[in-house]
């Protein structure tokens, strides 16, 4: 929580956040996924001449993602990429700092990517850094996004579970999250602030 709150911008990536915001009467306008925001930023970077660096995913995945993105956005300056399975920070940090990207996309899964960015923030030389979860898997074609009708109905999570059943172990957090939201709602109804 402390790491997230230290960010300059936090976007509601998951349907559960939108649900919680609605229950707590602080509704959010829309879901903003990491992959959508990243794709918009990549287009903008091509137009504005910003350089971009990709960090995360398996070596062949991040490479394929860079190739696919370059094919779609031929003028985009992809100044480097590195996989996300390293024990020692030295190499990726050195490469990033040599490239000094305007935009650094880190896709090592939450909360690993947020911890990495927070721990290294004073050493990373870049414009804006953003955690993008499994976006390189999507950009490389390794995993698929849910059909738009599922995205619109807040069912993308279901599609992701069907595609990657091992993600199910994460749902262990869900009842606790629902419980915390309901407890907060109760606290507000009973006259808390
Ligand atoms: N990953 C990584 N380093 C690790 C573990 C995972 O780069 O040590 C990558 C993994 O290959 C995948 C992404 O992080 O590309 C994890 O995506 P996931 O869908 O789990 O993240 P989420 O979107 O749920 O945060």
Which residue's CA is minimally distant from atom 22 of ligand 1? 133
Q: CA–CA separation, 155 vs 59, rounded Å?
A: 30
pLDDT at 175 over 70: yes
Q: Which residues line ligand 1 (CB under 6 A)?
A: 56-58, 84-85, 107-110, 112, 133-134, 136-137
pLDDT category at 192 given cuts 50, 70, 90 is low
Nearest atom, ligand 1, residue 170 CA: 24
Tokens of 10: 């936090």
Cis omega (within 30 of 0) on the bond before 173?
no
Tokens of 41: 């930023």
Would you say 139 and 109 are in contact if contact means Cβ atoms under 8 Å apart?
Answer: no
State mean pLDDT over 14-25: 94
Whole-number Å distance, alpha carbon 161 to ligand 1 midpoint, is: 15
**For strand 51-56 and strand 77-82, is the pairing parallel, antiparallel, or unpaired?**
parallel
Strand (E) or helix (H) holding 52: strand 51-56
pLDDT at 135 over 90: yes
Other CB atoms within a 10 A radius of the CB of residue 27 amount to 9
Whole-number Å distance, alpha carbon 101 to ligand 1 midpoint, is: 21
pLDDT category at 167 given cuts 50, 70, 90 is confident
pLDDT at 147 over 70: yes
Report pLDDT for 184: 95
Whole-number Å distance, alpha carbon 134 to ligand 1 midpoint, is: 5
Rg of the chain over all Cα atoms, to the nearest angstrom:
18
Helices (H), the chain: 2-5, 15-23, 34-48, 59-72, 90-99, 112-120, 135-140, 148-152, 156-163, 174-189
Whole-number Å distance, alpha carbon 190 to ligand 1 midpoint, is: 40
Q: If you average pLDDT over every residue of the chain, what do you get?
A: 93
Which residue's CA is minimally distant from atom 6 of ligand 1? 108
Report pLDDT for 177: 94
Nearest atom, ligand 1, residue 13 CA: 23
State the angle between helix axes of 15-23 and 174-189 in degrees (0 to 180), rounded to the nearest 10. Answer: 20
From 12, 81, 84, give the residue whose CB has the most ligand 1 atoms within 8 Å, as the site to mutate. 84
Domains and CATH numbers, the chain: 2-189 (3.40.50)
- pLDDT over 70, % of the chain: 99
Query: pLDDT tens, 73-102?
Result: 999 999 999 999 999 888 899 999 999 999
Q: 116, 150, 120: which is closest to 132 by C-alpha?
A: 116
């Amino acid at each position: 929580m402390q790491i997230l709150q230290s960010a300059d911008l936090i976007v509601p990536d998951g349907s559960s956040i939108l649900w919680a915001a609605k229950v707590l009467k602080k509704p959010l306008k829309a879901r903003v996924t990491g992959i959508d925001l990243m794709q918009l930023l990549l287009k903008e970077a091509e137009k504005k001449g910003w350089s971009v660096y990709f960090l995360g995913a398996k070596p062949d995945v991040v490479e394929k993602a860079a190739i696919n993105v370059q094919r779609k956005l031929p003028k985009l300056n992809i100044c480097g990429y590195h996989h996300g399975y390293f024990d020692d920070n030295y190499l990726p940090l050195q490469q990033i700092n040599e490239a000094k990207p305007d935009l650094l996309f880190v896709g090592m899964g939450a909360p690993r990517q947020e911890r990495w960015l927070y721990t290294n923030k004073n050493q990373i030389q870049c414009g804006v850094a953003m955690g993008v979860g499994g976006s390189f898997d999507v950009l490389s074609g390794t995993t698929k996004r849910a059909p738009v009708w599922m995205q619109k109905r807040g069912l993308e999570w279901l599609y992701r579970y069907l595609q990657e059943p091992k993600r199910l172990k994460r749902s262990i957090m869900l009842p606790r999250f629902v419980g915390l939201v309901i407890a907060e709602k109760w606290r507000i109804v009973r006259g808390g602030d």
